[in-house]
Structure 1
């Protein structure tokens, strides 16, 4: 893989920068907020100024502090739900595709059931049964969202696993007596990494949208700040009718920017998967550098018959 270089597309770089900023705010946001986001310390409905960059709310709370504080819960829920849903899709999809038979039928049926259910209504029903104390925990909410977002990824991974299960390196692993779990984890899963990365990005985006939608509808703890909660309180206090754009526009822009960054990063994954797109990022080295280097599939070596090759 000497000729392979990471994509140098401006789109990918822009996506990494934007997402990196929000991940940084997730960590340091609550520590750099200028005021307590929940304390009504100031005059009501102040417009943006040097003292309050995004103005104040109907209760006299600093909106910029709420925006910084809300970044943590929003991003944590997105990442937790994305990771949990991706793990579930790996377990279900790869197991169904490789094991086949009754296992495939049962897991495929489960995936189809979850795919047939509308995501947001199902999420609302599950969330309504949670205790109020649990609705303020981003980890719990992330786990609930993951239950509604894993099925489509499992279907994709099952299809890809079916195309890999009869490859030479998988057959070689079976012949030498490798256990099934090792074949799935070591031989098949590494060849699914680009698809897994794309699935993770999409699931994080879905999770951020689902979480902020629940918060906007008032179905989460409205005392815990996230970008959806900000829009909930803005709507409840008629900010749109009062032309208080600085209350509801900034959280909407942040949600859109997170989605944009994930979409831009997905361009990099497309370049990795598609050799024609990846050719633009191949480093030029020697007369044969125009050829795209392909990674070797599998970990188990395959013995090939070379008796007919002259020395």
Structure 2
């Protein structure tokens, strides 16, 4: 009898261990399959490559730059040449060096602001959609108010009243004003998923709301969360450039936005220095486009009908 009991217990433990390993392998296979779907999408693959190039430039830009960012001894207001591929500024700085070094600030502000925005949107949207009732009413009213207010004028108003205009102040402004649309989208997703059978079963089993949200609902919402995150990053990069262009940032910091600001102040187009204006604007457009292209692949993960053969 004792031997049979030990054998049964060993069998149960072995089965549970095997089940745990199978679940872990299944999760790894699911993640690998999702990445293959994204990578197999031609638009998403192009977006990943372009974004990886800009991330590489943001990390190693100061070492890739042909000159030091502080060098001002070059001839002023020069057009593109062999020595200065994108010309020089009115203060004698190399534009290509500014472009490479400014990528770090613009990408940092964009991705950090996007992360904060999606964290706020995720918290408010999921709490409103999961708990419902008066919690949903209050948070939905807050989201509706933020959606009604125009984004850019609100950012300008807040930024103009902040005593100091630095990177962190810009991140704060964009984080306070950019979460409402993502919150509304994620609330709708939560309302849909919270009525699924596996969520209802977890509630009847006595699981805590946090465990249900993080273990049952969140993994099934990753594609929507990532899509909203990329949208928030795109909006943050564009907003940073807009605030810097309007003089509401810190002009002493080199970013793509401050490059456009100083190019406008230096009458770059009138002086024929088209590269000084075009280069940072093109970089902003390429980063925003790459994130949009990656979203095509993420949509294919969420909707199998969009997958390419």
- Partner Cα distance (1:147, 1:24) in 2: 29
1:225 paired residue number: 254
1:136 paired residue number: 166
2:67 paired residue number: 35
- Partner Cα distance (1:38, 1:231) in 2: 18
1:35, distance to aligned residue in structure 2 (A): 2.1
1:255, distance to aligned residue in structure 2 (A): 0.7
Q: Find out whether 1:106 has 2:138 as its counterpart.
A: yes
The gaps in structure 2 that reach 5 residues or longer are 1-25
Over residues 148-195 of structure 1, what are the superposed CA-to-partner deviations in whole Å (9 max), with x where a residue is unaligned? 111111111111111111211111111111111211221111111110
2:214 paired residue number: 185
Query: Which is further off, 230-239 or 45-54?
Result: 45-54
Give the TM-score of the pair, scaled to structure 1.
0.85
Q: 1:239 aligns with which of 245, 250, 268?
A: 268
1:30, distance to aligned residue in structure 2 (A): 2.1
Query: Which is further off, 219-228 or 43-52?
Result: 43-52
How many residue pairs match? The answer is 277
Contact persistence 1:37–1:63 (CA under 8 A): no
- Partner Cα distance (1:129, 1:33) in 2: 36
SS of 1:6's partner is: helix
1:236, distance to aligned residue in structure 2 (A): 0.6
Contact persistence 2:75–2:92 (CA under 8 A): yes
2:227 paired residue number: 198
1:214, distance to aligned residue in structure 2 (A): 0.4
- Partner Cα distance (2:179, 2:235) in 1: 11
2:42 paired residue number: 10
1:44 paired residue number: 76
The structure with more helix, counted as a fraction of residues: 2
- Partner Cα distance (2:69, 2:163) in 1: 24
- Partner Cα distance (1:276, 1:67) in 2: 40
- Partner Cα distance (2:268, 2:79) in 1: 12
Contact persistence 1:84–1:143 (CA under 8 A): no
1:124 paired residue number: 156
Q: Find out whether 1:274 has 2:306 as its counterpart.
A: no
- Partner Cα distance (2:70, 2:147) in 1: 39
The gaps in structure 1 that reach 5 residues or longer are 282-311
1:144, distance to aligned residue in structure 2 (A): 2.0
1:72, distance to aligned residue in structure 2 (A): 0.7
Give the TM-score of the pair, scaled to structure 2.
0.86
Contact persistence 2:79–2:272 (CA under 8 A): no
- Partner Cα distance (1:263, 1:167) in 2: 30
Contact persistence 2:110–2:234 (CA under 8 A): yes
1:14, distance to aligned residue in structure 2 (A): 0.9
1:77, distance to aligned residue in structure 2 (A): 0.6
1:298 paired residue number: none
Contact persistence 2:162–2:169 (CA under 8 A): no
